[in-house]
Amino acid sequence: MLLSNRVAIITGGAVGIGRGIALKFAEEGCSVVIADILESEGKKTVEGVFKKGRDGVFVHCDVTDSRQVQDMASKALSKFGKVDILVNNAGGLPGVTPGRSIVDITEEQWDKILDLNLKSTFLCCKAIVPHMKEKKYGKIINLSSIGVVQPPDSVIHYHAAKGGVLGLTVNLAFDLAPFNICVNAILPGPVRTPFYEPLIGSMTGKEKDAFFADIAKKAVPLQRIGTPEDIAGAALFLASELSAYVTGESLYVAGGIPLSPHGDTSSI
């Protein structure tokens, strides 16, 4: 097993990509801490971890709140005695109505999206890095977005935050390299998860199917929408010793985006 006897914290691990990563890690021998505000869904993910023969725990945590993040880190260390892997996956577009111009975004919206998608990564790293430095080992995986390099123009604040994640990743990788801590980022392309609900929640089932089919046709060279398992495979590589000599990298997991620089990504 690639992650035998490892312990991982996965923020936003209750659903979607986070759940996919948690279950993949459990298959490879990893115990998992799910940090999320979605309690019932988070506990369901932990049940899935148990079914794969590994230990897990759900910790209710708003990752934009430094006190809750510190408490979550303390509970993880108390439960397992160590944290080998940190996956900063929490993020999203809560309450966002897409706008075509920066003038459509309020200061309050900007702050909310930056807190959830960038500040959260900072807070979780700040809480866990001291332990990893003491152990002289760690794997940190930050989730960014393909929209940083090939953006639609409808979620400027989200992609600004995810661009900040890339900057944090490379700087932290340099800072922590002497401590044998690898820090890398994944840039997912379009993946069908609850992430899209703020954008398509009012659509019927068939309309949603058509929405994703249209994205695949217009924007994705591999001509399909990604799955949480696609992202989980990349996360497994970055969390395991297969990537022991990889740090400060940004890995596109996006079906070939941005190979088509003129593809229509306006709906991603």
Among 137, 158, 245, 252, which one carries the catalytic annotation?
Answer: 158
Q: Given its phi and psi angles, is residue 67 left (phi above 0), alpha (psi -120 to 50 degrees) or beta?
A: alpha
Q: Residue 158 catalytic?
A: yes
Spell out a b/e string for 164-192, using b for 16 or more CB atoms within 10 Å of the CB, else e: bbbebbbebbeebeeeebbbbbbbbbbbb
- Can you tell me the distance from the alpha carbon of 217 to that of 230, in angstroms, rounded to the nearest whole number? 18
Spell out a b/e string for 101-118, using b for 16 or more CB atoms within 10 Å of the CB, else e: eeeebeeebeebbbbbbb
Residues with a catalytic annotation lie at 158
